[in-house]
Amino acid sequence: MVAFVTDGRTPDQPAAYRELYAEVTLGLEEAKYANPNPHKSLEVFWAFCKLQQLGTYSDRRAYVDQLYADVLLDLKRVQRHVPSPKKWKKANEALNDELSPVRAQWLKAKNFIYSPSPDYENSIKESISAVESSLMVLLSEPNGSLGKIIKNVGLDPDIERLVSQAYGFASNKAFVRHGGTTASTLTRLEAEFFLEFAATCIVYITAKLKHGKADA
């Protein structure tokens, strides 16, 4: 990718890239990761660079370097046998088929906590957003918000209220879904709480909507 959009372009790269992209996608799917690279061909990637005004070689290199950063970081943890949060894996497995793209968002929620420079506010944002994205896909509401479309799931009113309150927390806390003017007091404890809570929501809601039962 870098060679094609900098100074190393060759005629054989497009075909080789398409084949490699397919292999990487299948390999990531088997490992329960979404392919974070949306560019299925080098021509599409080149068009993206022009559209996004990635006008310098360094800009394009930096973009490519970040594409697989979250996946590579998590793979390093796996290699070092670092355990994942209790329900993270179960939620990740529930994000299959049409929900596979949400896995990238879900992985960010985890990485924001356990990266060398943790970002608890963004972890909470991505955790709740992963629940919201799952609902948007399953309910075919691409422009909906969790607070509105959760009412269409048919959950027990008390459970619906819990999910809505979590969304409200994320919306009201400074630097989570919106900006802020005072220093954040959120810690790893809150971030892990919302990661586990979001995992429970994803597993439960996807089971309700995809299989019609809550004990799947």
Token pair 């060759």 is at which residue?
A: 10
Whether 78 is covered by a domain: the verdict is: no
Whether 51 is covered by a domain: the verdict is: yes
Q: Quick one: DSSP state of residue 152?
A: G
Rounded alpha-carbon distances, angstroms, from residue 161 to 124, 125, 167: 18, 18, 10
Backbone phi and psi for residue 125, each to the nearest 5 degrees, phi listed first: -60, -50
**Do 206 and 111 have their domain in common?**
yes
Q: Where are the alpha helices (DSSP H) in the chain?
A: 13-30, 42-51, 57-67, 69-79, 88-94, 102-114, 120-138, 146-149, 157-172, 188-211
What is the predicted pLDDT for the residue at 78?
86
pTM across the whole model: 0.79
Decide which of 37, 67, 97 is a domain's last residue.
67
Whole-angstrom distance, CA of residue 198 vs CA of residue 85: 12
Q: Are 199 and 85 in contact (CB under 8 A)?
A: yes
What is the predicted pLDDT for the residue at 216?
42
Decide which of 17, 40, 67 is a domain's last residue.
67
**For the chain, how big is the Rg over CA atoms in Å?**
19
What is the predicted pLDDT for the residue at 214?
44
What is the predicted pLDDT for the residue at 212?
63
**Do 37 and 112 have their domain in common?**
no
Decide which of 67, 100, 125 is a domain's last residue.
67
| Predicted confidence pLDDT, tens digits, the chain (216 residues) | 999 999 999 999 999 999 999 999 999 999 889 999 999 999 999 999 999 989 999 999 999 999 999 999 999 888 888 888 888 889 999 999 899 989 999 999 999 998 888 999 899 999 999 999 999 999 999 998 898 999 999 999 999 999 998 888 877 665 455 454 455 678 999 999 999 999 999 999 999 988 764 444
Helix, strand or coil for residue 178? strand
Helix, strand or coil for residue 174? strand
Q: Are 141 and 149 in contact (CB under 8 A)?
A: yes
Structural domain span for residue 131: 83-211
Comparing C-alpha atoms, which of 192, 171, 159, 8 is closest to residue 85?
192
Token pair 């799931």 is at which residue?
A: 153
Whether 63 is covered by a domain: the verdict is: yes
**Bridge partners of residue 178, in order along the sequence:** 174
Rounded alpha-carbon distances, angstroms, from residue 103 to 86, 98, 107, 145, 175: 17, 11, 6, 19, 23
**Do 202 and 109 have their domain in common?**
yes
